Structure 1
Amino acid sequence: MARQGTRARGWSGLGAAWVAACLGLSAAQAADEGPVRIGVLVDLEGTYADIGGLGAVEAVRMAVEDAGGSVLGRPIEVVSAGGQNKADVAASIARQWYDSGVDVITDLPSSAMALAVINLANEKKKLALVTSAGSSDITGKFCSPYAAHWTWDTYAMAKGTGAGVVKQGGTDWYFLTADYVFGQALERDTAAVVKASGGRVLGAVRHPLNTQDFSSFLLQAQGSKAKILGLANGGTDTINAIKQAREFGLTDSMQLVALIAFLSDVHSLGLKVAQGLLLTEAFYWDQNEETRAWSRRFFARMKRMPSMTQAGAYSGTLHYLKAVKAVGSKDPEAVMAQMRRTPINDFMTHDGVLRPDGRVVRDMYLFQAKTPTESTGEWDLYKLVRRIPGNEAFRPLGEGGCPLVR
């Protein structure tokens, strides 16, 4: 069942319909006059709970507070629920939310969930801001005029980490891949970058989501004689794979490369295990005064530093609310057009651009996990290797196969 935050007074979807009937208004007009409602569809207990979860819900609430708690003289409501990382569960919740007056749904931790909700957004003509899921297909063949892909994607991770490792001499790759949409896209995008950069892919093995025992998969990787093990998975799968690879001594012959890893993953692993790990992120709490100030606010509420997807949930929500205010309406086409017209500027993004395919283009960053002796505190985990300009990090607009791009 959906967990719902404190509701401000306002008409429900049925109330809006009743008013429309009484006053002769269209259903669309009545819906546009109600409160602004934001749904945060997260992973509460599974693989991606630490990178989004309740922290993403809190980040959205922070954005609502910073927008003043209301817009166009109407209250802003936030509802939240756990989608169990299942497309059918996510679609069911999203349908209920859209039908009851939710204007935009955000977070969406798995690519399967995100694609299911985007399909509904198309049907309902409502908005979806994907701030956690990563498949580059979201702005490729599945792009939507009602969706934005906010924080990162598999192409950017492949460009940032994959190309960087090949340049450092890591040319022979083997992939350990989560066997669903996200993992497959991450392997595909990284393999293309590795080959284009002069490297070789010697093979891959795929594992189910939420795998506890990686021993058989790691033995297959070791048998490939590759020098680089690319982890095309995420969350607790990445954490468990790294831990077990080190326990089995795999790191004596192969370098581990986390193609998608988050601050919470490195924190969970500890620097003794994670030291030297290369990873690409859109945000790190200790980059500058702006990132530190916002992150300290978040820490005061959640007692942990934010992930890039939690920062992205704030960024996407605030940009959406600014667009609603600018156009004087919740109309999804008008709001999305305004979001595309307006540069994205906040603590994590400077002069970001929302493209016609739904991709937000911003700078990305290649980081390396510090050694225990380099760290000065619990959350002092990264050192910057390279800033990657947005036009280099993300796939060129015309190469994704998005039917919206002419």
Structure 2
Amino acid sequence: MKSALLAAVATSALLLAAPASAQGVKIGILNDQSGVYADYGGKWSVEAARMAIEDFGGEVLGQKIELVTADHQNKPDLASSIARRWYDVENVDMITELTTSSVALAIHELSKEKKKIDIVVGAATSRLTGDACQPYGFHWAYDTRALGVGTGGALTKAGGDTWYFLTADYAFGYALEKDTSEIVTANGGKVVGSVRVPLNSSDFSSFLLQAQSSKAKIVGLANAGLDTTNSIKQASEFGIVASGQKLAGLLMTLAEVNGLGLQAAQGLVLTEGYYWDLNDKTRNLGERFLKRTGRMPSMIHAGTYSATLSYLKAVKAAGTKDPEAVAKKLKELPVDDDFAQGGKVLENGRMVHDMYLFEVKKPAESKKPWDYYKLLATVPGDKAFFTAKDSGCPLTK
């Protein structure tokens, strides 16, 4: 009996000391699931990650793939607390989606400290692969530079040469205003002013009046999610577009267009990294997602699918979950899936792929549900994003 007891104790000790790899591969989706960005990413991004895991086969290296999720409520301190627990206690191997730039920057720094991989999809700031880059950090789907090149460049070239910005008052808004302003001025335009708007505002009237009085040809909405849809609705009430100014939704996705409806959104010019009706591959993902959720994916949802799938492919190719080896493979493997075709990951962690400039259709032009966009131009990835050399990332020096 004594020897049996000792054997049981020894077995328990071995189980407790078992490496994290024996516990499977664990992926975390950390995003806004209840606030201003809940429709933009939220539970739909979780479903996209589930799709990727299922498509991969549910296991990698003979280990089950597990998905955990949490709502960070757009609070960097809460997000950091959750991520720290995931890394230290729950053996989460990779965190993705990470809506909200202030959150993404905080988790990016924590992931560097813990030597864990994060793949940002929902947050926009180009700083993630610029001055804030780190060896285990990646950025998928889009960034503020790509949005500025697409929407800012196109509208300025088309004669919208004076701009006024309504800017979300945190890291994302600042980066989007900065990157778009640089594109506007490089194309011969001028920024005549801007105003900072608190996140999750309900009343945009005073900010819109300032934009209206500026007489700028373009009112650039450097915000996202419900903030964008609310500012567009209230701009209509003030007659801003009717009086001759044009609204530029600098970060709008299919989710926000759907929320507005074509009657309100028609004519808006925007840039996305994905649209379900572009080609056979994007339609395949879109139609499967629609069957599961009742809605078509935006670039955030499709990007989360791609980021999750790419991570799993890198783990398989590396033959290990070791972050150094997986990060190396992420930068070596091409990204060719239902989100992006011909994508590549640069040394600074930026996934480069084509971006698309769209105009929202008039209601009469839409022939079927979710038929919302007219393609105006394809922006090649090497034109949309900073090169690794020009990004400001210390890793590339």
TM superposition score normalised by structure 2: 0.95
> Which residue identity lines up with residue 254 of structure 1 in the other structure?
Q
Alpha-carbon separation, structure 2, partners of 1:381 and 1:245: 21
Map 1:325-404; keep pairs closer than 5 Å. 325-404=316-395
> Which residue identity lines up with residue 326 of structure 1 in the other structure?
A
- Identify the residue that residue 233 of structure 2 maps to in structure 1: 243
Alpha-carbon separation, structure 2, partners of 1:311 and 1:72: 25
Return closer, same or farther for 1:334/1:253 CA change in 2, 3 Å cut-off: same
- Identify the residue that residue 43 of structure 1 maps to in structure 2: 32
| Deviation (angstroms), 1:357 | 0.8
Return closer, same or farther for 1:267/1:22 CA change in 2, 3 Å cut-off: closer
- Identify the residue that residue 314 of structure 1 maps to in structure 2: 305
Return closer, same or farther for 1:383/1:22 CA change in 2, 3 Å cut-off: closer
Q: Which runs of 4+ in 1 moved over 6 A?
A: none
Alignment partner of 1:305 is 2:285: no
> Which residue identity lines up with residue 334 of structure 1 in the other structure?
A
| Deviation (angstroms), 1:253 | 2.6
Return closer, same or farther for 1:37/1:202 CA change in 2, 3 Å cut-off: same
Return closer, same or farther for 1:18/1:53 CA change in 2, 3 Å cut-off: farther
> Which residue identity lines up with residue 351 of structure 2 in the other structure?
V
Alpha-carbon separation, structure 1, partners of 2:388 and 2:117: 21
| Deviation (angstroms), 1:393 | 0.5
Alignment partner of 1:146 is 2:155: no
Alpha-carbon separation, structure 2, partners of 1:394 and 1:51: 22
| Deviation (angstroms), 1:308 | 0.5
| Deviation (angstroms), 1:399 | 1.8
| Deviation (angstroms), 1:22 | 5.6
- Identify the residue that residue 405 of structure 1 maps to in structure 2: 396
Conserved 8 A contact 1:37-1:103: yes
| Deviation (angstroms), 1:19 | 3.3
Alpha-carbon separation, structure 1, partners of 2:389 and 2:319: 32
Deviations 1:316-368 (A, max 9, x none): 11111011111110000100101111111001211211111111000000000
Map 1:119-130; keep pairs closer than 5 Å. 119-130=109-120
Deviations 1:226-281 (A, max 9, x none): 11100000000000000100111011231000111000111111111111100000
| Deviation (angstroms), 1:396 | 2.2
Alignment partner of 1:101 is 2:96: no
- Out of 103, 122, 127, the residue aligned to residue 132 of structure 1 is 122
Alignment partner of 1:218 is 2:208: yes
Conserved 8 A contact 1:32-1:331: no
- Identify the residue that residue 7 of structure 2 maps to in structure 1: none
Conserved 8 A contact 1:37-1:78: yes
- Identify the residue that residue 8 of structure 2 maps to in structure 1: none
> Which residue identity lines up with residue 300 of structure 1 in the other structure?
K
- Identify the residue that residue 170 of structure 1 maps to in structure 2: 160
Conserved 8 A contact 1:271-1:370: yes
Alpha-carbon separation, structure 2, partners of 1:234 and 1:68: 34
Tell me the secondary structure at the aligned position of residue 236 of structure 1: helix
Map 1:225-236; keep pairs closer than 5 Å. 225-236=215-226
> Which residue identity lines up with residue 224 of structure 1 in the other structure?
S
Deviations 1:274-314 (A, max 9, x none): 11100000000111121112111111111111110110111
- Identify the residue that residue 78 of structure 1 maps to in structure 2: 67
Alpha-carbon separation, structure 2, partners of 1:214 and 1:114: 26
Alpha-carbon separation, structure 2, partners of 1:223 and 1:371: 28
Alpha-carbon separation, structure 1, partners of 2:164 and 2:29: 36
- Identify the residue that residue 26 of structure 1 maps to in structure 2: none
| Deviation (angstroms), 1:17 | 11
Return closer, same or farther for 1:69/1:341 CA change in 2, 3 Å cut-off: same
How many pairs align?
A: 385
Tell me the secondary structure at the aligned position of residue 404 of structure 1: helix
TM superposition score normalised by structure 1: 0.93
Return closer, same or farther for 1:269/1:334 CA change in 2, 3 Å cut-off: same
Alpha-carbon separation, structure 2, partners of 1:66 and 1:237: 34
Alignment partner of 1:19 is 2:43: no
